[in-house]
Amino acid sequence: METDPLFSVLAGDNLPLLLSAGALLIALIALWLASGAGRETRRDVETLRQKTGVLGREMDDLRVSHFHGQDLANRAVAPAENDTARYLAEKEAYDRLWPQVWHLHDRLGMFLRAVEGGEAPGELRLEARNAALEARNLLNRNRPFCNATVEELVTRLIDTEIRAHLAACQYLDLLKEVSTTPSDHDRRVLQDKCHSLHEGESRELMNRLADAIRARVINVSCP
């Protein structure tokens, strides 16, 4: 039969060789399968590593954007708080300055009217001088909180009132130095100068100062 040579091969001395060849073939097949599985596993690991890296970068970007978002929010809140604090500081400065400026204007007016009327000024001369000094000190202490326009108006107003006070004091000194009363011309010069400074220039500055303060703290909404 045709199968006799096959049986003779299996029954002979070649059987161990065939078994060894079969075992080697099986081992090679197993090794090839294991190698393929290893490559697949490495690919899976590499893919997972890449996905993990991408996810980590996305998380970092998310944290950074969240941080910047909070920073922007804080920056948005900070200017509003700063504006409110600046507004309140400026308003407090005007609350201190305006009463003193008005006190100076009032005291000086009383002193000038007494001088022009030929009355003894008494303490009015010193009160007007002290009012001017206090107004100047208040302005210097509150200057950092004042608007530039308001600061300029207050400075000019104080200077003008001081000039009017000096003019009246010069007139009083003139009365003491000469044996005769001042001439009508000297009296008119004094009256014109005092009216020009106190009733004219100072009153105009007072009105402008009131308008400037009103525009800064009344006609606007607190930030």
Mean of pLDDT values over 115-124: 84
Residue type, 194: C
CA distances from 85 to 80, 92, 101, 185, 220 (A): 9, 11, 24, 55, 15
Mean of pLDDT values over 8-20: 58
CA distances from 188 to 171, 178, 185, 197, 203 (A): 11, 18, 5, 14, 20
Domain boundaries, the chain: 4-58, 87-217
Mean of pLDDT values over 16-41: 66
Question: Alpha carbon 29 to chain centroid distance?
Answer: 77
For 3, left (φ over 0), alpha (ψ -120 to 50), or beta?
alpha
Q: How confident is the model at residue 222 (pLDDT cuts 50, 70, 90)?
A: very low
Provide the pLDDT for residue 59.
65
The answer to whether residue 48 scores a pLDDT higher than 60 is: yes
Which pTM value belongs to this model? 0.61
Neighbours of 90 (CB within 10 A): 19
The answer to whether residue 139 scores a pLDDT higher than 60 is: yes
Give pLDDT tens digits for 153-169. Answer: 999 999 999 999 998 88
Sign of the Cα torsion 123, 124, 127, 133 reads: negative
| Average pLDDT value for the chain | 78
Mean of pLDDT values over 34-52: 67
Largest CA distance in the chain: 174
Provide the pLDDT for residue 210.
94
Provide the pLDDT for residue 27.
66
Three-state SS for 79? helix
Provide the pLDDT for residue 189.
78
Most confident of 69-78, 82-91, 113-122, 157-166: 157-166
Q: In the chain, helix, strand, coil percent, each to 5?
A: 90, 0, 10
